Chains A and B, each alone.
Chain A
């Protein structure tokens, strides 16, 4: 068992948070959220492998995280195509409307 799994999860999570805080491009921010999700998956697996409970099964939690990640990518691509062909800037500081 790799002893530094939780540290790796924390590093990936921190890189994702730093990416969200520093980047202004919409797609880069979604990439950062994906990194956070990967970090959370690694953390979940590290807790699961450390757990002594025989009935512990992380599959359903993992599937939920994977579903969130996949939904996020679908929404990103919809927004990407819409914003690109509508001439809307990807800079999130320039987005001021919630209504299309």
Chain B
């Protein structure tokens, strides 16, 4: 029990330090990596308190999806510098590797059969499917709008 408490405290301290580092780092790429560590720490904390499904989704959405996307975008900051381009590639690769390794650790054997996991996943795809559909449409329309804005601007430049 004491070991588990120590684990909780360690993950929490890790989350707070990385959250502070987001504003201490001057380079955006480093700040984005620190933010990724905060997301990862929160996901591990959820898994540690027994909310495996939420921890899993947190890793898939925040760490695997948003952070890799964010790092890839922020890394274009100094486009001409070869060094930073390689750094961004490795940073994205490391983030994705860490995310998938964390999934392997976060989901213990038989976790899919636990009642919390099954209740949460069942509620998502039966009770709340309409809300899920609307949110998906919101995300999709935002992404399409972003692409249209960027394409419109590129036409002006080229």
A residues bordering B, Cβ < 8 Å?
1-2, 4-5, 8, 11-12, 15-16, 18-19, 22-23, 25, 27-28, 31-32, 34-35, 38, 41-42, 45, 48-49, 57-60, 62-64, 66-67, 69-71, 73-78, 80-82, 84-86
Instruction: Tell whether A28 pairs with B153 under 8 Å between CB atoms, given A59-B124, A66-B61, A70-B66.
Output: no
B99: chain A residues at CB < 8 Å are none
- Cβ of B91 under 8 Å from chain A: no
B100 at the interface (CB under 8 A from A): no
Q: A27-B28, A57-B120 are in contact. Are A19 and B23 (CB under 8 A)?
A: yes
Contacts of B77 in A (CB 8 A): 84
User: Taking beta carbons and an 8 Å cutoff, which residues of B are in contact with A?
Assistant: 5, 8-9, 12, 15-16, 19-20, 22-23, 28, 31-32, 35, 38-39, 42, 45-46, 48-51, 53-54, 57-58, 61-62, 65-66, 69-70, 73-74, 76-77, 119-120, 123-124, 127-128, 131-132, 135, 138-139, 142-143, 145-146, 149-150, 153-154, 157
The answer, among B12, B128, B154, for a CB contact under 8 Å with A63, is B128
